[in-house]
Chains A and B, each alone.
Chain A
Amino acid sequence: MNRELTDKKLVVSHAPYWHDGRTVSSRYRQIMLAALPAVLMGISQYGSPALGMISLATASAVAWEFVMNLVLGKRITVGDGSAAVTGLLFGMLLPATAPWWIVVLGTFLAIIVGKQIFGGLGLNPLNPPLLALAMLVISFEGIFDFNAALRNYELGFAMTYPLADLKALGTAGIDKFAIGDLFMGKQIGGVGATFGLGLVIGGIYLLIRGYVRWELSLSFLAGVFVTAWLFHLADATAYAGPMFHLFTGYTLIAAFFLLPEDSSSPVNFIPMLVFGALAGLMTVLIRNIGAYVDGVPFSILLLNLANPLLDKIRPKAVGKVVENA
């Protein structure tokens, strides 16, 4: 007998013995990587205030999660990267000059109110960065007035927030914006939300690697496009065209980074399409006939609430016996 082998301590466990190699932290690292092009563009435009604000958002989100771990006596989960992603995405939505207390308060709302009190990772019913943003928008008037926040910048293109111009002046106010310029980031707005090309590159990277479900992103973009197009057909002087809506405000960052947030979005095929399309519809409705300049935060939060119900639309499992009373 081979004594050597009998002395060896073998590991016994349950099948399967293979894994596709992905982890929670690798998933969040990839999302941060995909967000980088847009973030770097924002930093290059707005300089050190943007860098400081993004860094503060990310760091404070991680810090809040750490504090909450300690308070709740749970395992320290800051290493998995989810808090960093939440902080980074929240920072990307803010103007570069956002005051520090708004940033820290926002990440508090995102991490603690949006996530930890529901049980932490995977259990948040609402998108944390958007929840924080929405709470700040309705609490502090004028805090997201990009025109006022960025009035000291002169970057060589129209220094007014396109959606605000649209709201105030109709399509006459947006003639100065060329669609191509908007896509290349020549507009003001959130630090990481204006560079359309960067967001699309990051988004496509996540799509083809399977980190983001294409059904969500594409149905959202289709929902925005179709709704905006119908409005435009009805009255071309009052409502902007579909391309304008796609490339302004938070549309692209929502399509690839906010809407597909795992916990608050559906996973079944039809619910994903409905979720994305309705979020797109709501976004344009709020922009065109609602009170707020950008409809993205509220449309997605509203659909987040419908998510558990939507996700009940699912195929019958193979072999399931349905007993009719």
Chain B
Amino acid sequence: MIKRPFLGIGKPKLSYALVPDEVQELKVPKSVTLLLKDDDPGPGGGIEAGAAVKTGQRLSKSPESPNYVVSSVTGTISAVFPYAGTFGQIYPYAGKFGHPCTAITIDADEKDTWDDEYKGEATLDTALRFFGCLPGKPSFQAFADPGKTIRMIVISGQDQDLLLTANQAIVQNHMAELKAGIKVLKEMTGVDRVLLTVPEAMVQQAISTGAEVKALSAVYPAGLPHMVMKDIVGTVVPEGQSPEDMGTVFISAEAVAALGTSVETGRLSVSKMVTVVRKGGNATNLKVRIGTPLQVLLQGCGITVQDRDRLILGGPMRGMTTYSGQLPVEADTDGLVVQDRAESPLLGDHPCINCGECIRVCPVKIPVNMLIRFLEAGYYEDARDMYDLSCCIECGLCAYVCTSRIPISQYVDLAKRELALREAAEAENE
């Protein structure tokens, strides 16, 4: 954890980890668990215990369903059960906290047998059908959406959160695949303008990919899509909208490299690069099969976890803690940060003392001191209309600097969710 330096007139600066950590590949685990987004969780549609699956096989409950997973190993399904979300509950609504899932556990054989349904095509249809489970979880929905005109693709060659270096490692080590992926991406989507954002030091190296290379600031939150839109692309995303609404799709460098490999070899990439950060801050990039249980990663790095430690999926500013080491690495799990209980900051119940730290640190200039008063009182509509709730990009910096240690991020999340539920209810009544 980075504490505030002794002297600090201005706002604290949190810097990204820019130099890729050493890469280490783990062998195929004994079993993997895949999470299939599913409105009716449980076995069905041929996905049941005892079924044999091959590496790269597309698993879906019905041929029409848009939801699928790609098996990352060859073996036999040993269990199919409804999955409890990160917080131990099945959430009845879609969104940040997840969607009901069916967890499919597959006992892996040592040798891979590759499925031959995917043969190396590179069209938008195959992208929707197969590429949604590539490492990095690229989404091609926006290209197929007639309501959206996509004019630009931004490839993130720098991780969005602190400490993580998985994408930096891809840019450093997998230049050829990245180049191939960019070519495929351009042909597949028909989008000409492809930006590649990398740390300053990697600009020279990245130019050879043929993309338009832009250097990102090393200071958090420069890597978040909304900040890249504002600082690099030059388009401010209006509140309540996404970069895709503005004609820009974000894809991680890892996903693009996986795309390149998959199209070239005709085999879907099934390995994910995960930055594992030990308690001391020492990090390793592990290349593992998607679905590998987290504890296999921890064992691979020789990490022991104690009671009341935290396991953070993602980075320290925006990640999600998880309650069990048995949960799997998913296609979009960029990092696994192990935080010692002594390092975990406690929240307080002091009221806002109006010190103004949050105002200075907010990258989108929200009057957090006023916002939090409205959120605490439950006036969510006023918070949105007068104090810019919907402009929040959830970088977490205000909570990081809060002297009173108010759970600001929790309040913001709660308010956004309440407002979304109210809007949904209103739409239903009309």
Contacts and interface: CB of A to CB of B under 8 A. Distances in A.
Determine if chain A interacts with chain B. Answer: yes
Interface of A: 1-2, 4-6, 8-24, 27, 75, 80, 82, 119-123, 207-210, 213-214, 262-263, 265, 267-268, 311, 314-321
A263 B316 contact: no
Contact of A14 (B2, B230, B400, B407): B407
A283 B403 CA distance: 31
A257 B346 CA distance: 29
Contacts of A207: 9
B156 to A, nearest CB: 19
Contacts of B93: none
Given A21-B3, A122-B404, A317-B366, A262 B295 contact: no
Contacts of A1: 295, 326
A15 B318 contact: yes
A17 B321 contact: yes
A157 to B, nearest CB: 35
A16 B409 contact: yes
Nearest to A323: B385
Residue of A22, A268, A314 with most partner-chain B CB within 10 A: A22
Contacts of A320: 238-239, 388, 391
Contacts of B312: 15, 17
Interface in B1-53: 1-4, 6-10, 12, 14
B340 to A, nearest CB: 11
B78 interface: no
Interface in B393-413: 396-397, 399-405, 407, 409-410, 413
A13 B321 contact: yes
Given A21-B4, A22-B4, A24-B404, A15 B316 contact: yes
A265 B359 CA distance: 13
Interface string B160-188: 00100000000000000000000000000
B379 interface: no
Contacts of A311: 367
B347 to A, nearest CB: 8
Contacts of B367: 267-268, 311, 314, 317
Given A24-B350, A24-B403, A214-B9, 15 more contacts: A4-B304, A5-B295, A12-B87, A15-B317, A16-B397, A17-B345, A18-B1, A18-B316, A18-B400, A22-B4, A75-B349, A122-B352, A123-B351, A317-B367, A318-B236
A12 B321 contact: yes
Contacts of A122: 350-354, 404
Nearest to A80: B350
A319 B226 contact: yes
Interface in B34-92: 86-88
B355 to A, nearest CB: 5
Contacts of B148: none
9 contacts: A1-B326, A6-B295, A10-B323, A18-B1, A18-B400, A20-B12, A119-B351, A262-B353, A319-B238
B318 A16 contact: yes
A21 B401 CA distance: 8
A267 B310 contact: no
A17 B396 CA distance: 9
Interface in B309-366: 309-312, 314, 316-326, 337, 339, 341, 344-345, 348-357, 359, 363-366
Contacts, number: 201
B352 A16 contact: no
The 9 closest A-B pairs by CB, nearest first: A267-B356, A19-B345, A16-B396, A317-B388, A318-B364, A20-B4, A21-B3, A122-B353, A317-B391
B308 interface: yes
Nearest to B388: A317
Contacts of B215: none
B27 to A, nearest CB: 16
Nearest to A26: B403
B2 A11 contact: no
Residue among B326, B354, B401 having the largest count of chain A Cβ atoms under 10 Å? B354
Most A Cβ at <10 Å: residue of B318, B397, B404? B404
Contacts of A267: 354-356, 359, 367, 369
Contacts of B4: 20-22, 210
A8 B323 CA distance: 9
Given A16-B317, A17-B345, A19-B400, A8 B7 contact: no
A213 B14 CA distance: 21
Nearest to B396: A16
B203 interface: no
A121 B404 CA distance: 11
A263 B321 contact: no
Contact of B354 (A9, A19, A263, A315): A263
A181 B87 CA distance: 65
B298 interface: yes
A6 to B, nearest CB: 6
B305 interface: yes
B339 A17 contact: yes
Most B C-beta atoms less than 10 A away, residue of A1, A17, A267, A321 = A17
B306 interface: yes
Nearest to A315: B365
Nearest to B349: A75
Identify the interface centre among A10, A24, A213: most chain B CB within 10 Å of its CB: A10
B185 to A, nearest CB: 27
Contacts of A209: 6-8
A17 B319 contact: yes
B124 interface: no
A27 B403 contact: yes
Contacts of A208: 7-9
A321 B236 CA distance: 11
A267 B365 CA distance: 12
Nearest to B352: A122
Contact of B311 (A10, A24, A317): A10
Contacts of B87: 12
Given A18-B1, A267-B359, A12 B323 contact: yes
Nearest to A261: B354
B307 interface: yes
B311 A318 contact: no
Contacts of A15: 312, 314, 316-320, 396, 409
Contacts of A121: 350-351, 353
B320 A2 contact: no
B351 A120 contact: yes
B204 interface: no
B353 A210 contact: no
Contacts of A314: 365, 367
A17 B316 contact: yes
